[in-house]
Amino acid sequence: MPSELTSSEPTPTDPSTDHIDALLTECRDLRETVADQQATIEAQQTQIESLESRLSSLEETTTDLQTETDELETTTQINTTRIDSLDGAIDAHDQAIAELQSRELEKNAHLALGSVARFLESTQTADLSVDGERLERFTTKDGTQYVRLPDAADPLERSGTSALAQGDLLPIQQLARLDDDMLRANVSTLPTRLAARCWRERIGDDSNEPWKRGSNTVRQYLDASDLRTWIRRVEDGISDTYAKKLARRTMDALTDLGQGRLYQQKMTHRKDGLRYKETRLILPSDSAIPGEQTGSD
């Protein structure tokens, strides 16, 4: 009797088992995916809630700012109306003052420059209206500046040359009455204009540069070096060499226009052990200057 044979081949796997394993793996993957998506959704939900809260806060802030802006616009409109009203009142006030001052000037009044200066600016709405549309500025002996109609005598007969007619004055005094703009318009030579401006400097205080106070027989004097320094200060772009020439010509103009009231003299100075000469313009104490007192008066 033959013996039984044992097979060595593996037992076939059941197909249903493999399918179940695959389904289980897929389920696990799906659960992980769902968990990840759930976490993402929760994070997004938290972010949405935060953004909604921030949006709500911003909407409240916007509302507050809009309310504040409306209030500011209302206040601005009120202030603009008040400013317009004040500007109108100021313009009317200035026009009334300008009219009164114009009338006084027409009566030969001498008005302080400070009280009418703002009406002399072309940007002002109010303006002085006088016959000839021309005013003259001058300085009295005490240094006060006034304006008036040209050649108008002062009815109050105040100090200085203000009470004298134009024809009674020296040529240098007549030119000194003109302001800088009028000098440029009427005088062509720079030395003559500088002479007029320089004479104007000495009318007020005797200590005004470039003039110096004298003693005994000399009322005031003017050294060429001081005049040169003054010229470079009042005239832009003047070299020292040209200023030296202008100083000499300005002294000549002062001498000529002063009609013998001033004279030039060579003076010897000593500085740093060296001797040098320079020209000095001298106004004697007894020189008769119209409208000014001499030492003997």
Mean pLDDT by 10 residues, the chain (297 residues): 50 71 87 89 90 90 90 89 84 77 76 73 60 74 75 50 64 86 87 92 66 88 92 91 94 93 87 81 88 59
Selection from 293, 276, 273 nearest residue 223 by Cα: 276
Q: Using omega within 30 degrees of 0 as the cis cutoff, is the peptide bond preceding 10 cis?
A: no
Do residues 111 and 146 touch, judged by C-beta distance below 8 A? yes
Domain locations in the chain? 55-154, 169-284
Q: What is the dihedral of CA 39, 42, 48, 53, to 10 degrees?
A: -130
DSSP secondary structure string for all residues of 243-259: HHHHHHHHHHHHHHHTT
Per-residue model confidence (pLDDT) at position 297: 44
Per-residue model confidence (pLDDT) at position 157: 45
CA distance 217 to 102: 44
CA distance 235 to 248: 16
Per-residue model confidence (pLDDT) at position 244: 93
Per-residue model confidence (pLDDT) at position 121: 60
Do residues 194 and 246 touch, judged by C-beta distance below 8 A? yes
Per-residue model confidence (pLDDT) at position 18: 81
Query: At 65, which helix (H) or strand (E)?
Result: helix 15-106
Per-residue model confidence (pLDDT) at position 170: 87
Per-residue model confidence (pLDDT) at position 102: 79
Cβ neighbours of residue 104 closer than 8 Å, sequence gap 6 or more: 111
Do residues 150 and 134 touch, judged by C-beta distance below 8 A? yes
Selection from 208, 211, 206 nearest residue 226 by Cα: 211
In the structure encoding, which two tokens stand for residue 26, read together? 């897929």
pTM over 0.75: no
